[in-house]
Structure 1
Amino acid sequence: MSVGAATRPASSGSVTTTRVLLTGMSGVGKSALLAALRERGWRTVDADEDGLVTEYPDRTDLHLAELEAILRQPRHDRPLIVAATGEGQGQLYPFVDHVVLLTAPWPVLEERLATRSGNAFGKEPGERERVRADVETYEPLLRRGADLVVDTSQVALEDLAEQIDALATQEDAR
């Protein structure tokens, strides 16, 4: 997975609508957070659900051109959050105001993957092993590029949504 330091443009001081890249391994709660933020008025894009990834046994390739086009659209009257984790995601960092990494300890992820509904990825032992390996290999890289890291095993969904919602408030106050 090619990630990198989060390099984003400096604020111009004008009021803008926040753009957030949400990242993290399967099972951390990205989809649940997107649903909570959608209820709060955020525009949301889920790369997995919206067909903006190609899955391989050993990696996830993001459709970077399409994701970049979404992030390059003129700013809207509502904040935008894009959930995307995969090869080359660091190329999206210049187009967002914040990179948020959701994380959880492996035993929590393993349980969530085995019991979740709505997304079959992680049900098979090989898929869970891939996530476990990705946590060890790639999560340290994701941490380096993130502005905010949240352990979803330690925070309620509503509190997490409040934290992310506050990013838009901070951005709009500039």
Structure 2
Amino acid sequence: MTATKVLLTGMSGTGKSTVLEALRGRGWRTVDTDEDGLVDEHPDRTDLRLPEIRAILQQPRHDRPLVVAATGDGQAELYPLVDHVVVLVAPWPVLRERLGVRPGNDFGKEPGELERVRADQERYEPLLRRGADLVLDTSELAPDEVVDRVDALAAAPSTGGER
């Protein structure tokens, strides 16, 4: 049996980094496109470095599942390369609070960045939901529940290409 590949997406503050850290602790291979230098940030958008991310996803499957956290322009091009697309969501008031207090990531603390996240949520979250196999509201689920749901995908049949 080959290991599952998951694309984890969602707005800033939804908990992608938290989920990645927990999955890494459960033996998953993880790629955080923000932390691993696979994005180009602009004041009005995030460009994914699609050739590099595609190359990661096209590597031969390993004995451990892989999760790639990526949100940005062109991400739908990655969907055929993964078995599952998971989007993390949370209401705007929750995101605003999380962005203001999260450690280790200053994005979203400046007023212009905060407004960008709010605008991106309104514009892009409906698209992310449509392309996802699984939508998890991180304001309603405990972090361990979110991680358990994503971790369970390692044993689930692929839905790749059926979105």
Please give the TM-score of this superposition, normalised by the length of structure 2: 0.95
Aligned to 2:85: 99
Q: Do structure 1's residue 135 and structure 2's residue 121 form an aligned pair?
A: yes
- The 5-angstrom pairing of residues 113-128 of structure 1 reads 113-128=99-114
RMSD: 0.9
Unaligned runs of 5+ in 1: 1-14
Tell me how far 1:155 sits from its aligned partner: 0.5
Aligned to 1:146: 132
Tell me how far 1:171 sits from its aligned partner: 3.7
Q: Do structure 1's residue 30 and structure 2's residue 10 form an aligned pair?
A: no
Q: Distance in 2 between matches of 1:170 and 1:92?
A: 19
Q: Distance in 2 between matches of 1:69 and 1:22?
A: 17
| Residue identity matched to 2:143 | L
| Residue identity matched to 1:45 | V
1:88 aligns with one of 64, 69, 74: 74
1:57 aligns with one of 20, 35, 43: 43
Q: Distance in 2 between matches of 1:165 and 1:135?
A: 25
Aligned to 1:42: 28
Unaligned runs of 5+ in 2: 159-163
Q: Do structure 1's residue 155 and structure 2's residue 138 form an aligned pair?
A: no
2:96 aligns with one of 96, 104, 110: 110
Q: Distance in 2 between matches of 1:91 and 1:70?
A: 13
Aligned to 2:151: 165
Query: Conserved in 2, the CA contact under 8 Å of 1:16 and 1:171?
Result: no
Q: Which has the higher contact order (CA 8 A, sep 6+)?
A: 1
Q: Distance in 1 between matches of 2:53 and 2:117?
A: 23
Aligned to 2:52: 66
Q: Distance in 1 between matches of 2:51 and 2:40?
A: 13
3-state SS in 2 of match to 1:138:
helix
Query: Conserved in 2, the CA contact under 8 Å of 1:102 and 1:151?
Result: yes
Q: Distance in 2 between matches of 1:104 and 1:125?
A: 19
3-state SS in 1 of match to 2:27:
coil
Tell me how far 1:145 sits from its aligned partner: 0.3
Please give the TM-score of this superposition, normalised by the length of structure 1: 0.89
Q: Distance in 1 between matches of 2:156 and 2:124?
A: 29
| Residue identity matched to 2:94 | V
Q: Distance in 2 between matches of 1:170 and 1:69?
A: 24
